[in-house]
Amino acid sequence: GNSVTQMEGPVTLSEEAFLTINCTYTATGYPSLFWYVQYPGEGLQLLLKATKADDKGSNKGFEATYRKETTSFHLEKGSVQVSDSAVYFCALSGAQKLVFGQGTRLTINP
């Protein structure tokens, strides 16, 4: 079945550091891939998505590229801010359901 594996957290960085959160997937067919973000005390919200191989999703300075050859969708940001502190979830679309990774908690220190 479909599955998503994220790098384990928590991840702690200093402000303006470079961020990478790894995500790999197992799927049949050609799923869409997503990153969702959960700020403290809130529900999840879509950060970015990619619908086919080699697509790059981007939003708020975050980027992720759909790599079919390595079955990956790593999240990157060149310079993180304290306001980026949140839990990040990688997900892929199945026929009727989304499959989520376990989440990675990111803390940015000033």
Partner 1 sequence: NAGVTQTPKFRILKIGQSMTLQCTQDMNHNYMYWYRQDPGMGLKLIYYSVGAGITDKGEVPNGYNVSRSTTEDFPLRLELAAPSQTSVYFCASRPGQGAGGANVLTFGAGSRLTVL
Nearer to partner 1 (CB atom), residue 13 or residue 98: 98
Q: Which residues of 29-50 are buried (b: 16+ CB within 10 A; e: fewer)?
A: eebbbbbbbbeeeeebeebbbb
Interface residues for partner 1 in 5-34 (CB under 8 A)?
32, 34
Q: Which of 23, 66, 84, 101 binds partner 1 (CB under 8 A)?
A: 101
- The reply to whether 88 sits near partner 1 by the rule CB under 8 A is no
- The reply to whether 57 sits near partner 1 by the rule CB under 8 A is no
Structure tokens at 91: 């997900």
